[in-house]
Amino acid sequence: MIEKALRGSSRYWTWLGILAIFIGIGAVCYVRQFFIGQGLTGMGRDIGWGLYISQFTFLVGVAAGGLMLVLPYYVHNYKAFGRITILGEFLAIPALIMCLLFIMVDLGQPLRAMNMILHPTPNSMLFWDMCVLLGYLFLNLICSWVILTAERKEVAPPKWIYIFVYLSIPFAVSIHTVTAMLYCGLPGRDFWLSAITAPRFLASAFAAGPIIIVLACLLMKRIANFDAGKEAINKILTIIIYAALTNAFFVCLEFFVAYYSKIPGHMHSLDYLFFGIEHNGEMYNNLVPFMWTSVFLCFGGLIVLAWLKLSKKVMTDAADWIIAAGCLAVFLSLFIDKGLGFVLGGLAITPFETVVEYYPTVNEMGVTIGIWAVGIFMVTVLYKLAVDVEHEVEE
Amino acid sequence: MYNKGLIVPGLIITVLLVTFPFWFDVFSSAESTDPTVELPPGGEQNCIYPADEMRAEHMVILNEWRDDVLRNGNRGTVTVDGKVYGKGLQLACMKCHTNKEEFCDRCHTYASVVPYCWDCHLTPTQQKAGLKEAN
Amino acid sequence: MDTKRRTFLKAAGVAALAGISAPAVTKLAEASSSAVPAVAENSAGTAGKIRYGMVIDMRKLYDRPDIQEKMAAACRYAHNIPTFDDPKSEIKWIWSASYEEAFPEHSSAHNAEIIEESEFLMLCNHCDNPPCVRVCPTKATFKMEHNGIVAMDYHRCIGCRFCMMACPYGARSFNWFEPRPHITQEINPEFPTRMRGVVEKCNFCAERLARGEKPACQEAAAEVGAIYFGDLNDPESEVRKVLAENPTIQRKPGLGTKPSVFYIV
């Protein structure tokens, strides 16, 4: 099946070539970091985690988001998702590999990473995160490959594969729950120390993951002659709207707890993120524009999507562009909220209740872009496989 | 066979590349000699184990000492020829083998192993002269 | 696929999940009983076990930044700690900062003038219930069972910095750069340096205690006698007597970490 990835139009190869350039840039930046040290990043003694770990956190959500296709199709037998469930799995695989890459580039001693397996430590949430991430990666690899192979041969998938399919459902939930537990069990980090962290992560994941699939479907309709079907897109949009609203609701709850209780530790991070915080006569507010952009994009995107659905315009071809715009807005919003605000909001307030701002360096951004390019490269290749198989079956 | 013109030369090139170290050795004029190490300048004759055993096991012993001292709180001592040493690379080994460059490095360089001991532990030269002067 | 078969498959899926997770659960149970003494061990059953602790008598250190700096310098020498100008890259084992930074939970609107004007010493609290140990994925940081010191194994640390996230006292530093070129003071030949990419912190001078010496900072403050160090589990020890005679505070006691460093303010 892999040979399908090696035959493509010049447009396909150009796109992969562009991505390869970005991967190369990322590699060069990482080599620099590997030989000089993590000091090349914007991280420091107070802000010990930065862009890498926040990207990791966001991408675990993208990987878990595929669940929103697997669950309706396999458990509720929702046939409209038949053509695109494989896209959910083929999104999870690159997302998980990006997660692992972001963890690796964040480690100070990456060559010792195997110490996590040599000295397994069950009281560490990072150990469990490794277990569930690798487990979910394995499940997605095996399920997607076996089912796509069966589809290509036009036979029913072997029965044993459904054990792994059903197993992947709790695993999808667990990867993001355990990732939330990395943060929400730490004493003294008030912004993270919230039981709603895991549900909030899941809600934003169930919006962000499906959005990528919608965007990919709309794109592939134009350039790869692959139509996911109006009903499927319409249903995913429903899921995205509810999930994003749930996430927004959870964020509002955080606001209530902080500002009604008036406990300084709980207010400080939200102050810093949304209004700016003053400390020793200096104003710290470098994330405020981002966070408000996130708020407006979220509600703007949701209003557009809801209007499309209520006015029944969603089923028309002309709606595609508006769907794409709405989805992109919500996606960016969630990316800022989780891929930037959550980690940095928690860290900007130090254990000494001082405020420190974080600015990523160019080298750090180079590595980050390189890893995103790896992910997009893999998604391109895998989605091409899936679409080519569907075309082959149709002929 | 399809593409014979590509596959056969490709195979030959692969085989040549894989076996390159052997070819290089056959045609190279450089003399390959086993490394010789210099024994402790202080004239100590005995180590904690016979030389053969030390050659094969020193890295394992160092790891065990490390775990004993750091993790198990067992900072015991070792006695060789009546002299007592604290467990550890700096505290025991380097007391006699003060010539790290002529002892450790000779074999390690030959075998192309780069143990990370010296990333943190100080060589006798560095201990005497300080970090900046020794480098 | 008919409904019966799907029902069966669902049941099979659930059964498989239970079967696969069983060994992991057993392993978890085993491991948490054998390898993790840090969480369980506390007040009960401490007889015969040492738990090192420190009392810092701030009354003797108010208006004495010279002594505080002397203590930090002694520590820097004893442990070959590098000095960085950029606060981002700093390595700190023992350091001084304002009362607000050291005791954010104890700050009041109207502190005594002496408290506002002085700096307070901070170091690793060697908690009885250390969050850093709980989160470390490789057991590179651990609590030594026989003396309660929270120690680091720099050979094993992978540099994930999870412990820095978990420490509510900001007592841990990461080697963002190669530390050796930044060791500005004379080198201590008896102690190693660290390498790039690992986390480090105060070790309560475990290596000096093993030789029967006092912690370096205590020795440096000897002229004013500001530091008491000893076994918190021994009612006859000097620290316990000082604790019995003086009201003391700890940093962030509300977090349940049970710090082993006490302050007389």
Q: Of A39-48, B37-46, C225-234, which range is least confident?
A: B37-46
Closest-CA residue to C148 (of C59, C60, C239, C69): C239
Taking contacts as CB-CB distances below 8 angstroms, the residues of chain B near C212 are none
pLDDT digits over C23-60, tens only?
A: 444 444 444 433 333 333 334 444 568 999 999 999 99
Check residue C37 and give its pLDDT.
35
Name the residue among A48, A189, A347 with its Cβ closest to that of C174: A48
Check residue C7 and give its pLDDT.
57
Taking contacts as CB-CB distances below 8 angstroms, the residues of chain B near C153 are 66, 70-71
Check residue C30 and give its pLDDT.
42
CA A208/CA A204 separation, integer angstroms: 6
Look-up: residue for tokens 């796509």? A148
Please give the DSSP secondary-structure letter assigned to residue B71.
I
Sign, Cα dihedral of A156, A158, A163, A164: negative
Predicted confidence band of residue C14 (pLDDT cuts 50, 70, 90) = low
- Fold assignment, C50-264: Alpha-Beta Plaits (3.30.70)
H helices of chain C, where? 3-34, 37-40, 65-78, 99-102, 113-117, 131-135, 162-166, 206-210, 216-220, 238-245
Instruction: Report the number of distinct structural domains present in chain A.
Output: 1
Indicate the residue type of C47.
A
C163, C109 Cβ separation under 8 angstroms? no
Residue A163 within a domain:
yes
pLDDT digits over A51-108, tens only?
A: 999 999 999 999 999 899 999 999 998 988 988 899 999 999 999 999 999 999 999 9
CA C64/CA C72 separation, integer angstroms: 13
- The chain-wide mean pLDDT, for chain C, equals 85
SS3 of A82, please?
Answer: helix
Name the residue among C146, C192, C210 with its Cβ closest to that of B120: C192
**pLDDT over 90 (residue A140):** yes
- Give the domain extent around A146: 2-390
Predicted confidence band of residue A180 (pLDDT cuts 50, 70, 90) = very high
Residue A395 within a domain:
no
Beta bridge partners of C150: C143
CB contact under 8 A, A187 and C28: no
- Calculate how close chain B gets to C178, using CA atoms only, in Å: 9
- Calculate how close chain C gets to A359, using CA atoms only, in Å: 12
CA A381/CA A387 separation, integer angstroms: 10
pLDDT digits over A223-247, tens only?
A: 888 888 888 999 999 999 999 999 9
- The chain-wide mean pLDDT, for chain A, equals 93
B16, B23 Cβ separation under 8 angstroms? yes
CA B134/CA B122 separation, integer angstroms: 10
Cα torsion A147, A153, A156, A158 to 10°: value is: -60
CA C138/CA C143 separation, integer angstroms: 13
CATH number for the domain that contains residue A374:
1.20.1630.10
Percent of chain B residues topping a pLDDT of 70? 97
pLDDT digits over C168-182, tens only?
A: 999 999 999 999 999
CB contact under 8 A, C31 and A122: yes
- Residue C141: phi and psi, rounded to 5, are -115, 140
Look-up: residue for tokens 């532990």? B121
Residue C193: count of CB within 10 angstroms of its CB: 25
Check residue C135 and give its pLDDT.
96
Which chains are adjacent to chain A, needing at least 3 Cβ pairs under 8 Å? C
C221 vs C107, more confident: C221
A343, A53 Cβ separation under 8 angstroms? yes
Report the chain C residue with the minimal C-alpha distance to residue A50. C161
Q: Which pair of structure tokens corresponds to residue A331?
A: 């996606």
CA B123/CA B101 separation, integer angstroms: 9
For chain C, give every domain's residue range.
Answer: 50-264
A85, A73 Cβ separation under 8 angstroms? yes
Q: Of A12-26, A121-135, B120-134, C189-203, which range is least confident?
A: B120-134
Predicted confidence band of residue C6 (pLDDT cuts 50, 70, 90) = low
Vertex C109 angle, CA C105 and C111, to 5°: 85
Q: Tell me the mean pLDDT in the region A110-124.
A: 94
Q: Which pair of structure tokens corresponds to residue B105?
A: 């490095």
Check residue A224 and give its pLDDT.
86
pLDDT digits over B46-61, tens only?
A: 899 999 999 999 999 9
CA atoms within 13 A on the CB side of C237: 16
Closest-CA residue to A163 (of A181, A142, A187, A149): A142
SS3 of B21, please?
Answer: helix
Radius of gyration of chain C (CA): 23
Strands C261-264 and C52-57: parallel
Vertex A306 angle, CA A328 and A241, to 5°: 60
Containing C120, the helix (H) or strand (E) segment is strand C119-123
Residue A182 within a domain:
yes
Check residue C254 and give its pLDDT.
92
A329, A297 Cβ separation under 8 angstroms? yes
- Calculate how close chain A gets to C191, using CA atoms only, in Å: 22
CA atoms within 13 A on the CB side of C195: 19
Residue A270 within a domain:
yes
Taking contacts as CB-CB distances below 8 angstroms, the residues of chain C near A357 are none
Check residue B25 and give its pLDDT.
80
A183 vs C49, more confident: A183
Check residue A72 and give its pLDDT.
92
CA atoms within 13 A on the CB side of A95: 29
Q: Which pair of structure tokens corresponds to residue A88?
A: 């959910």
Residue C115: count of CB within 10 angstroms of its CB: 18
Beta bridge partners of A279: A282
Closest-CA residue to C152 (of B69, B74, B92): B69
A333, A297 Cβ separation under 8 angstroms? yes
Check residue C39 and give its pLDDT.
32
**pLDDT over 90 (residue C188):** yes
Predicted confidence band of residue B82 (pLDDT cuts 50, 70, 90) = confident
Sign, Cα dihedral of A146, A147, A148, A150: positive
Q: Which pair of structure tokens corresponds to residue B59?
A: 């890295």
Residue B113: count of CB within 10 angstroms of its CB: 9
A78 contacts chain C (CB < 8 A): no
Chain C interface, best mutation among B122, B125, B132, B135, by max C CB count within 10 A: B122
**pLDDT over 80 (residue C19):** no
Please give the DSSP secondary-structure letter assigned to residue A6.
G
Q: Of A366-380, B6-20, C95-109, which range is least confident?
A: C95-109
Please give the DSSP secondary-structure letter assigned to residue C114.
H
A242, A205 Cβ separation under 8 angstroms? no
- Residue C69: phi and psi, rounded to 5, are -65, -35
Check residue A4 and give its pLDDT.
84
CA A309/CA A302 separation, integer angstroms: 11
Indicate the residue type of A249.
F
B34 vs A221, more confident: A221
Predicted confidence band of residue B72 (pLDDT cuts 50, 70, 90) = confident
CB contact under 8 A, C10 and A108: no
Check residue A297 and give its pLDDT.
96
C192, A51 Cβ separation under 8 angstroms? no
Closest-CA residue to C202 (of C124, C257, C143, C118): C124
CA A202/CA A62 separation, integer angstroms: 10
Check residue C40 and give its pLDDT.
33
Taking contacts as CB-CB distances below 8 angstroms, the residues of chain C near B70 are 151, 153, 155
CA A213/CA B111 separation, integer angstroms: 52
CA C70/CA C121 separation, integer angstroms: 12
CA B6/CA A378 separation, integer angstroms: 29
Predicted confidence band of residue C1 (pLDDT cuts 50, 70, 90) = very low
Predicted confidence band of residue C164 (pLDDT cuts 50, 70, 90) = very high
Q: Which pair of structure tokens corresponds to residue C200?
A: 């480090």
**pLDDT over 60 (residue C22):** no
pLDDT digits over A280-325, tens only?
A: 899 999 999 999 999 999 999 999 999 988 888 777 777 889 999 9
CA A380/CA A384 separation, integer angstroms: 6
pLDDT digits over C91-148, tens only?
A: 999 999 999 999 988 877 788 888 888 999 999 999 999 999 999 999 999 999 889 9
* Model ipTM value: 0.90
- Residue A278: phi and psi, rounded to 5, are -100, 135
**pLDDT over 90 (residue C216):** yes
H helices of chain A, where? 10-36, 51-65, 67-70, 85-106, 115-118, 125-153, 161-184, 197-223, 230-261, 264-270, 288-310, 319-336, 343-348, 362-394
Residue A9 within a domain:
yes
Report the chain A residue with the minimal C-alpha distance to residue C178. A37
Containing B118, the helix (H) or strand (E) segment is helix B117-120
